[in-house]
Amino acid sequence: MTADEASELFLEQLNAAIEARPPAVPLDREAASEMLSWIVAANYHSALLLGRLREGGVALDRGDGRSMDGWVVEQVRMGNLASAARQRLDDGPG
């Protein structure tokens, strides 16, 4: 499987996970944990795609004067925050 195929598969799975839980449906802990795991994966996936763009010679203008490296760091940081939130949820009282 190529990286592009893996990316497309990930996005299809993410969309299916989003569609499976309409906003009006209350979430139990397991469902919330699953959603947070998708947020983690989506942020890390974004960081990988941004890295591929950078390595491919694409110079994206963020509009705030920061380099694309900063953008990658932000995506990883957001993934780490979501991962920590998921861990706290999973470790919290029942």
Q: What share of the chain is helix, strand, coil (3-state, %, to 5)?
A: 75, 0, 25
* pLDDT at 72 > cutoff 70: yes
Domain interval for residue 38: 3-91
What are 12's two structure tokens? 């299809």
Instruction: Indicate the pTM of the whole model.
Output: 0.72
Cα–Cα distance for residue pair 88/94, rounded to 1 Å? 12
- Asked if residue 94 has pLDDT above 70, the reply is no
Digit-coded pLDDT (tens) for 9-25? 877 887 787 777 677 77
Question: Alpha-carbon distance 35 to 51, whole Å?
Answer: 24
Domain total in the chain: 1
Pick the range with the lowest mean pLDDT from 54-58, 60-64, 70-74.
Answer: 60-64
